[in-house]
Amino acid sequence: MAPSMEEEAPSKSRVTVVGSGNWGSVAAKLIASNTLTLPSFHDEVRMWVFEETLPSGEKLTDVINRTNENVKYLPGIKLGKNVIADPDLENAGRSMFLCFYGTDANMLVFVTPHQFMEGICKRLVGKIKGDVEAISLIKGMEVKMEGPCMISTLISQQLGLNCCVLMGANIANEIAVEKFSEATVGYRESREIAEKWVQLFSTPYFIVTAVQDVEGVELCGTLKNVVAIAAGFVDGLEMGNNTKAAIMRIGLREMKAFSKMLFSSVKDSTFFESCGVADLITTCLGGRNRKVADAFARNGGKRSFDELEAEMLQGQKLQGVSTAREVYEVLSHRGWLELFPLFATVHEICVGRLPPSAIVEHSERIPKLSLVEKST
């Protein structure tokens, strides 16, 4: 007797990647290489694309599906034939997020610039049904009237989903060509779910470790972008390696103090994972935030970050400048500005209130941070 439809259908997970920028495309590639071989996943990986028309007149989605390459955000890299680009978030929501046969679980990977997530969540409210797990690869946060809101919390609150995070020393272009790197999954309660994410992302060249500290992992990924802007100023002013190392050390200290003052649960050990010191180092050496901040300082702050971003990144988005503003809002609101001189100075330089050279001129404010260390 032929098995019934339910018997035929194994309990498999479907993966959807929401986002298709530089890291979003690499994440889809990593996942797609694994879903082909892991029996607990359907082969196909859907990737939501914020649709745009290329200079050729073609839609980006059509080109991705025809060439298997994200020609705008990750040119020259094949994503895997099982990656299907989809431009319609709501329509995709209806078809992708349904649990087929009542047995499938779905796994949603969020990886867009953080400033777009509030709008994306609003569009998805009420459209996600069934047994769905989420993970955020997004480095950034929102600041609301009530205070700071991490992106994983935004996803959890707006969409009613459990949301892990994955952060790390992960310059996307390097992982795209399969150079070895590590990453950290942060989870809240279920080790089993965390292990499923680890399995989905891990490859011989991408080693993923799980830690039970969502806030710590996410804040590391978020705050290092502010330090990378500071490192870029130092590079642009040609201050040398010792100065840059000092800025990175002070930045790491502020990252730790700020994280622990916001969430007492944050663990010291998280700062020694890939998401912590390793991501700080790689971003301060080779990231986009560093690169654009370098140009900003070389131009004496006379050309805005928006202008430089558009010119230098061709559609890719910086996270550090807006994160510096968001952090500054939290610091002002809580009366912590004096405790975080590096974070505060980065924002003041970005908005033109201070010259780029202030990144070290204001270092006399830095010893105040020791007050923070005593209290955490």
Ligand X SMILES: NC(=O)C1=CN([C@@H]2O[C@H](COP(=O)(O)OP(=O)(O)OC[C@H]3O[C@@H](n4cnc5c(N)ncnc54)[C@H](O)[C@@H]3O)[C@@H](O)[C@H]2O)C=CC1
User: Residue 213 CB, nearest distance to ligand X (Å)?
Assistant: 18
Residue 23 known to bind ligand: yes
Laid out side by side, the sheet with 206-211 consists of 83-86, 41-48, 13-18, 105-110, 132-136, 162-167, 181-186, 206-211
Q: Say which residues have a Cβ less than 8 Å from residue 127's Cβ, sequence separation at least 6.
A: 90, 93, 94, 97
Contact of 73 with 67, CB cutoff 8 Å:
no
The residue among 93 and 320 lying less far from ligand 13P, judged by its C-beta, is: 320
Residue 260 known to bind ligand: no
244 is catalytic: no
User: Residue 64 CB, nearest distance to ligand X (Å)?
Assistant: 11
Residue 91 known to bind ligand: no
Q: Say which residues have a Cβ less than 8 Å from residue 92's Cβ, sequence separation at least 6.
A: 16, 46, 48, 86
Catalytic residue from among 224, 256, 260, 291: 224
Taking CB under 6 A as the rule, does residue 291 contact ligand X?
no
Residue 116 known to bind ligand: yes
What percent of the chain is helix, strand and coil (3-state, nearest 5)? 55, 15, 30
Q: Provide the β-strand partners of residue 208.
A: 183
142: tokens are: 């929102």
User: Residue 173 CB, nearest distance to ligand 13P (Å)?
Assistant: 9
User: Residue 317 CB, nearest distance to ligand X (Å)?
Assistant: 4
Strand runs labelled E in the chain: 13-18, 41-48, 69-70, 74-78, 83-86, 105-110, 132-136, 141-144, 147-150, 162-167, 181-186, 206-211
Q: Say which residues have a Cβ less than 8 Å from residue 23's Cβ, sequence separation at least 6.
A: 111, 137, 170, 172
**φ, ψ for residue 109, nearest 5 deg:** -110, 115
Taking CB under 6 A as the rule, does residue 305 contact ligand X?
no
User: Residue 233 CB, nearest distance to ligand 13P (Å)?
Assistant: 14
19's contact among ligand X, ligand 13P, none, with CB below 5 to 8 A by partner kind, is ligand X
Pairwise CA distance, residues 103 & 194, whole Å: 20
- Contact mark string toward ligand 13P, 287..306, x via CB under 6 A: xxx-----------------
Q: Provide the β-strand partners of residue 133.
A: 107, 162
The residue among 290 and 298 lying less far from ligand 13P, judged by its C-beta, is: 290
Pairwise CA distance, residues 338 & 86, whole Å: 47
Angle CA 115–119–121, to nearest 5? 110
* Count of residues that bind ligand X according to CB under 6 A: 23
- Contact mark string toward ligand X, 29..58, x via CB under 6 A: ---------------------x--------
The residue among 148 and 168 lying less far from ligand 13P, judged by its C-beta, is: 168
* 6-45 residues near ligand 13P, rule: CB under 6 A: none
341-350 helix and 241-262 helix, angle to the nearest 10 degrees: 110
Length of the chain: 376
* 158-177 residues near ligand 13P, rule: CB under 6 A: 169-171
Pairwise CA distance, residues 314 & 308, whole Å: 10
The residue among 83 and 369 lying less far from ligand X, judged by its C-beta, is: 83
User: Residue 331 CB, nearest distance to ligand X (Å)?
Assistant: 21
Residue 20 known to bind ligand: yes
283's contact among ligand 13P, ligand X, none, with CB below 5 to 8 A by partner kind, is ligand 13P
116's contact among ligand 13P, ligand X, none, with CB below 5 to 8 A by partner kind, is ligand X
- Contact mark string toward ligand X, 159..178, x via CB under 6 A: -----------xxx------
Binding residues for substrate: 139, 288-289
* Residues marked as catalytic: 224
- Residues near ligand 13P (CB under 6 A) are 139, 169-171, 225, 228, 279, 282-283, 287-289, 319
